[in-house]
Amino acid sequence: MDHDKISREDLVERARALIPMLRAEADAAERRRMIAPETITALREAGIFRTLQPERFGGFEYDFGMVVRINSLIGQGCTSTAWVCGLGITHQWIISGFPPQAQEDVWGENPGAITYGSYGPVVEAKPVDGGWTISGSWPFASGCDHGQWGLLGTRFSGAGADGGMAPGFVLVPAADYTIDDDWFTNGLAATGSKSIVCDDVFIPSHRRLMFADVMSGNSPGYRASGKPLYSIPMFAGIPTAITTPALGALQGAIDAFIETTRVQKTRGMRSGESVADFAAVQSAIATACAAVDSGKLMFLRDLEETHAAVNAGRKITQDIRIRNRLTQGYLMKQALMAIDELYSVTGATGINLGNRVERAWRDLHAMSHHITLNWNIVGAMCGQHLLGRDPQGHY
């Protein structure tokens, strides 16, 4: 593995160079319901997973804007790979919020370690001497076959501000959990988002990170390092992991659509006409291109302002946090509208499995079901804020 720091532009070009390989592997990955280990190796060797990792463990400490630039390219090759890749990148940032000893546990002997898991605090930790034990099953652990550690949402009694229950993350080495192969879906199939199962697993006290700390930007890792990157509130940055695949999927669908439509001829009663001459086709491709450009510009604008604020020592206000979530949710809404319009003009060949527009259509609709991106939830939360109500949701 190359441990020298790679420039931003070189890292972007390394991601771009992976697109042909990812496109060639996409069908097999979907049938396998899992990204190939060789794909993870290629991402690791390109330095992709080091984007947000602390420099003291061989990372680059770049910003979330780089995640947008890199992972939207990965998504042009394979949406599921971008979903898994984005989580692998951004989980390095979450781990950087844990106490320093936990970071040493993960990266001290293996700086290339990556982590996958499930955020929902579905299990209550049981206190024991020196920490806690956990038992239960965590669903939707995308990429879990490839992680050296699991990042799991857990509830802790007595940890809330009122002395009640409060949620947090724990870190579990892969040797301590099993994987239940229960991932059978019509979209994002290759993410391998199976369930992680723990049976009376011990968690030492330093491997806990409370949601309240990472969501406020005041985590133990930030307090120890003092680096502004790690003071960003969680939901101002982490959704880049699962939103950038939408940009990539839509751009990949555009590329495929243009490639085939430029030479496609009609069949049936109006046989032999150029499909590219139909106004509906022309309008659909324009809509999709505008959705990609506007979504990326809004995304990068928000992240640039967020990073500028923390670098200047300013607080990330609720207004900023809600606008970041508005952009993330609306980007998904735009991508859905655009892929629906594009798919509607693919003709009969568009229903073939393996057609890149068809796969993007399924993957984007699967993405829209995620609570972080669902427009009904995100839009209502943003509207509540704008109307002076207490916003209900993740921000």
| pLDDT tens digits for range 103-115 | 999 999 999 999 9
Tell me if 335 sits within 8 A of 289, measured CB to CB: no
On the question of pLDDT at 329 being above 80, the answer is: yes
For 11-70, write each residue's pLDDT tens digit: 999 999 999 999 999 999 999 999 999 999 999 999 999 999 999 999 999 999 999 999
Sheet holding 149-156, edge to edge: 115-124, 149-156, 166-173, 208-210
pLDDT-above-70 percentage for the chain:
98
Amino acid 269: pLDDT: 59
The whole-number average pLDDT for the span 252-259 is 94
- Kindly report the CATH number that applies to the domain delimited by 234-386: 1.20.140.10
In words, the CATH class of domain 8-107 is: mainly alpha
- Kindly report the CATH number that applies to the domain delimited by 115-214: 2.40.110.10
Is the model more confident about 252 or about 267? 252
Amino acid 268: pLDDT: 66
pLDDT averaged over the chain?
Answer: 94
On the question of pLDDT at 392 being above 80, the answer is: yes
**Three-class DSSP category at 60:** coil
DSSP 175-207: GG-EEE-----SSSGGG--EEEEEEEEEEEGGG
> Predicted confidence band at 1 (pLDDT cuts at 50, 70, 90)?
very low
Show me where the domains of the chain are located. 8-107, 115-214, 234-386
The whole-number average pLDDT for the span 90-109 is 98
> Predicted confidence band at 73 (pLDDT cuts at 50, 70, 90)?
very high
Tell me if 26 sits within 8 A of 190, measured CB to CB: yes
The whole-number average pLDDT for the span 168-173 is 98
